[in-house]
């Protein structure tokens, strides 16, 4: 018997494979020729691929058309993660609630997913914090510059001028005015105006007797007031300068005190 060679065995195997009918042979020629079907070795693998494709199609989110109803768009956005409760941030401060609700309402109307909306809010918070930080630094810089100017302008009288300003603010100011001083970082023009008002009130109170309370029956109190007035430069200018507008009031005030102090009868 003739011994079969290796080459001959291989050729017979190839011929046997060619003779085995393919599952594609049962399909119409136009279908069988589709390149995508050639990758399936049998009907079972084709069926499994079909089932996976059907499952994928079922989970597919179709984009509505421009003229689709609001309900269709809402359903579409819900599949993408639109929060039903309209809350995009879980960690929130009570003082920011009104601010957050404004943005969350807008984000919900736009159809943003919770992840998208939370990212936007975090970005807004971060930007706002940076702006506030820069504004605070700038205000502190301006405030420092203004205070340096006031110290340079008032010199040794700086502390006393600030006291006069605070007195004027306490007597005629308001919470709004006090806030304005802070908001303007101690604007020199505003501070100087209050200082001038305070100086005027201080001078007027000295000549009209509205300063320290005085008992008309107490010589000791009168002497104490005389010494206080004599140490007040502004009052002494009025007292010694006959052309000063407050000279007559200053003279009258001092005469009244001397009468009480030394029991002088008119």
- What percent of the chain shows pLDDT beyond 90? 6
Per-residue pLDDT tens over the stretch 12-32: 555 544 555 678 888 888 877
Does residue 29 belong to any structural domain of this protein?
yes
Does residue 72 belong to any structural domain of this protein?
no
Across the chain, mean pLDDT equals: 77
Per-residue pLDDT tens over the stretch 158-197: 888 887 787 777 777 677 887 888 888 889 999 888 888 8
pLDDT higher than 70, residue 209 = no
- Contact between 43 and 23 under an 8 Å Cβ cutoff? The reply is yes
| pTM (global) more than 0.85 | no
pLDDT higher than 90, residue 145 = yes
- Band (pLDDT 50/70/90 cuts) for residue 152 is very high
Phi, psi (degrees; rounded to nearest 5) at 214: -135, 125
Comparing C-alpha atoms, which of 83, 81, 62 is closest to residue 72?
A: 62
Q: How confident is the model at residue 181, as a pLDDT? A: 84
- Which has more pLDDT, 81 or 146? 146
Does residue 3 belong to any structural domain of this protein?
no
Does residue 248 belong to any structural domain of this protein?
yes
- Band (pLDDT 50/70/90 cuts) for residue 11 is low
Range of the domain at 26: 14-58
What's the rounded mean pLDDT across residues 235-241?
Answer: 81
What's the rounded mean pLDDT across residues 117-132?
Answer: 87
Angstrom distance (rounded) from CA 74 to CA 195 = 64
Report residue 181 as tokens.
């001083």
- Which has more pLDDT, 78 or 34? 34
Given 58, 86, 111, which residue is the final one in a domain? 58
- Contact between 112 and 73 under an 8 Å Cβ cutoff? The reply is no
Q: How confident is the model at residue 223, as a pLDDT? A: 83
Helix (H) or strand (E) holding 79: helix 70-79
Does residue 51 belong to any structural domain of this protein?
yes
Phi, psi (degrees; rounded to nearest 5) at 221: -65, -35
Q: How confident is the model at residue 210, as a pLDDT? A: 42
- Band (pLDDT 50/70/90 cuts) for residue 1 is very low
Domain count, the chain: 2
Does residue 9 belong to any structural domain of this protein?
no
What's the rounded mean pLDDT across residues 119-146?
Answer: 89
Q: DSSP characters for 223-260? A: HHHHHHHHT-HHHHHHHH-TTSTTHHHHHHHHHHHHHH
Angstrom distance (rounded) from CA 139 to CA 133 = 10
Q: How confident is the model at residue 213, as a pLDDT? A: 47
Q: How confident is the model at residue 204, as a pLDDT? A: 54
Q: How confident is the model at residue 61, as a pLDDT? A: 65
Does residue 152 belong to any structural domain of this protein?
no
Place of tokens 């060679």: 5
Q: How confident is the model at residue 148, as a pLDDT? A: 92
Does residue 140 belong to any structural domain of this protein?
no
Per-residue pLDDT tens over the stretch 29-73: 887 788 888 888 888 888 888 788 777 666 666 777 778 787 777
What's the rounded mean pLDDT across residues 254-260?
Answer: 81
- Band (pLDDT 50/70/90 cuts) for residue 139 is confident
């Amino acid at each position: 018997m003739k011994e079969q060679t290796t080459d001959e065995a291989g050729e017979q195997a190839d011929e046997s494979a060619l003779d085995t009918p393919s599952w594609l042979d049962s399909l119409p020629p136009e279908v069988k020729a589709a390149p995508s079907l050639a990758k399936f070795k049998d009907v079972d693998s084709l069926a499994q691929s079909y089932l996976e494709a059907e499952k994928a199609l079922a989970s597919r989110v179709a984009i509505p058309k421009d003229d689709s109803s609001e309900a269709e768009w809402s359903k579409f956005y819900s599949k993408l993660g639109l929060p039903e409760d309209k809350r995009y941030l879980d960690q929130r401060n009570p003082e920011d609630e009104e601010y957050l609700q404004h943005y969350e309402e807008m984000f919900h109307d736009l159809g943003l997913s919770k992840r998208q909306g939370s990212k936007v809010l975090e970005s807004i918070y971060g930007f706002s914090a940076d702006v506030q930080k820069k504004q605070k630094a700038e205000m502190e810089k301006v405030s420092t510059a203004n205070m340096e100017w006031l110290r340079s302008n008032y010199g040794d009288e700086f502390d006393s001028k600030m006291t006069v300003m605070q007195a004027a603010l306490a007597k005629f100011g308001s919470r709004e005015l006090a806030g304005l001083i802070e908001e303007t970082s101690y604007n020199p023009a505003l501070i100087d105006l209050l200082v001038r008002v305070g100086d005027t009130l201080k001078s007027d109170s000295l000549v009209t007797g509205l300063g320290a309370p005085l008992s008309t029956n107490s010589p000791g109190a009168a002497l104490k007031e005389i010494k206080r007035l004599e140490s007040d430069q502004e009052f002494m200018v009025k007292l010694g300068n006959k052309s000063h507008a407050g000279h007559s009031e200053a003279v009258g005030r001092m005469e009244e005190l001397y009468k009480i102090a030394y029991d002088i009868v008119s």
